[in-house]
Structure 1
Amino acid sequence: MVEKPKVAVVLSGCGVYDGSEIHEAVLTLLAIEKQGATYACFAPNIPQAHVINHLTGQVDTVDTRNVLTEAARIARGAIKDLKEYRADDFDALVFPGGFGAAKNLSSFAFDGAEMRVHADVERAVTETKAAAKPIGALCIAPTILAKLLAPVEVTIGSSPDVAAAVEKMGGRHVVTGHGGVIVDAAAKVATTPCYMLDATITQIDTGANAVVAAVLALARGETPGSVTEAA
């Protein structure tokens, strides 16, 4: 029996405003399994940038939370510290979106194009790149790849401000609609906009499936094409 491809999924907490976007994270995991692969979840063992009350949208000035501990909610406890990630153990690496990607995995939400990327995240990306294995990213997470892998081609949908930041970091931005996926075959990177657009959960499912399909195709040595909008 041929061994199933293994995909590492990096989470950034639990909840759209201060962690991983839950719909994107869960639908990515589901897409991986439905498409014949397996997954393992990782997150950095660090404090969150801050805690957002998801009912009011306000910053909680008292509470503090840990990214790994919160991400474990999505992974049902089956998650490891990102320090333990080794590219040799996996066929691909995927980053769901949510503000945690821009607040905890990086500082894009605060610093824009001058963003910093957390050291564990940078090591995971650069190690995967050096191993010539594909990387996928959803929503705002492609900004991390633009920062680390420029001049990689990515999409975050159609936000002019974020697209300008991607370009300033040396990336190449392509405008996409719902379910679109941009594949930079040379860099082995696939990205999709998800909730960077005003989207339904069905449209998120389409995007998650598209980016996972592209990443798995790249892992097989195939060259999938980009699609700017789902049919």
Structure 2
Amino acid sequence: MAKRVAVVLAGCGVLDGSEVHESSAVLVHLSRAGATAKMFAPNIEQMHVVDHVKGSPTEEKRNVLVESARLARGDVQDLSKLSVKDYDAVVFPGGFGVAKNLCSWAVQGKDCSVNEEVKATLQAFHGEGKPIGLCCISPVLAAKVFPGCEVTVGRENDDKYPNTTDTAAAITQLGCKHMSKSVAESHVDEKNKVVTTCAFMCDAPIHEIFDGIGAMVQDVLKLA
């Protein structure tokens, strides 16, 4: 039977939502592996809207669920309707929307809070022993919700991973273990069934990002 995977989005666009290439890579790798995917997003207002040409915030207001529908080709549901019993695994693509809309890491770092529906989703899958896949900045969600877990956001003290060292330090301060991994690799926390890969935390060609996400998806499906 095909594995059923929930994919949780955070809007549309790297600077204020889900990273488009990462989201697409997740869906392609799930499809290639014969899994079925259903997309969800919280029905909340974005922290802010960023003009992706100028790279600066605008005065607009947008809704995370409505914007996520752009990525989902309209086929997206309110995260509040996600039932863990209907799925074998859950995957969170990255993008600044994770750190702005799904939690407040972008402004509070390790002292951030996690959206209650996002937290409940993570805890539900963890409680049922079902795997959780996270890429790019999304592993910080696991670091906040699962004390002592193991995650990767890339390689520390490496110029190709410009944001990894500081993020890894914050993860460590939360009592979790940061695992140094290349963009092509994923890390499997066997105890917690948390699978992570760094994706665009690395300044790498897009095909390497795509392959690393593939490694994460494959490991998630092995655990499902």
Q: TM-score under structure 2 normalisation?
A: 0.95
In the other structure, the counterpart of 2:183 is: 178
In the other structure, the counterpart of 2:45 is: 47
In the other structure, the counterpart of 1:164 is: 169
Letter in 2 for 1:49: M
Where does 1:31-70 land on structure 2 (aligned, <5 Å)? Answer: 31-60=29-58, 62-70=59-67
The answer to whether the Cα contact below 8 Å between 1:10 and 1:41 also exists between their aligned partners in 2 is yes
Letter in 2 for 1:131: E
Instruction: Supply the RMSD in Å over aligned alpha carbons.
Output: 0.7
2: distance between equivalents of 1:164 and 1:93? Answer: 26
Q: How far 1:168 moved relative to its partner?
A: 1.1
2: distance between equivalents of 1:215 and 1:29? Answer: 13
In the other structure, the counterpart of 2:28 is: 30
Alignment pair present for 1:127 and 2:132: no
Q: How far 1:66 moved relative to its partner?
A: 0.4
Aligned length: 216
1: distance between equivalents of 2:132 and 2:180? Answer: 19
What secondary structure is seen at the aligned counterpart in 1 of 2:38?
Answer: strand
1: distance between equivalents of 2:146 and 2:207? Answer: 30
Alignment pair present for 1:137 and 2:134: yes
In the other structure, the counterpart of 1:222 is: none
In the other structure, the counterpart of 2:216 is: 211
2: distance between equivalents of 1:48 and 1:199? Answer: 28
The answer to whether the Cα contact below 8 Å between 1:97 and 1:140 also exists between their aligned partners in 2 is yes
In the other structure, the counterpart of 2:204 is: 199
1: distance between equivalents of 2:173 and 2:102? Answer: 19
Letter in 2 for 1:123: A
Letter in 1 for 2:43: N
* Structure 1 unaligned blocks of 5 or more: 220-231
Task: Give a deviation string over 1:167-214, Cα, whole Å, max 9, x none.
Answer: 111211011112110100111010000000102210111011100000
2: distance between equivalents of 1:139 and 1:164? Answer: 15
TM superposition outliers: structure 1 runs of 4+ over 6 Å: none
What secondary structure is seen at the aligned counterpart in 2 of 1:104?
Answer: helix
Aligned-pair identity in percent equals: 45
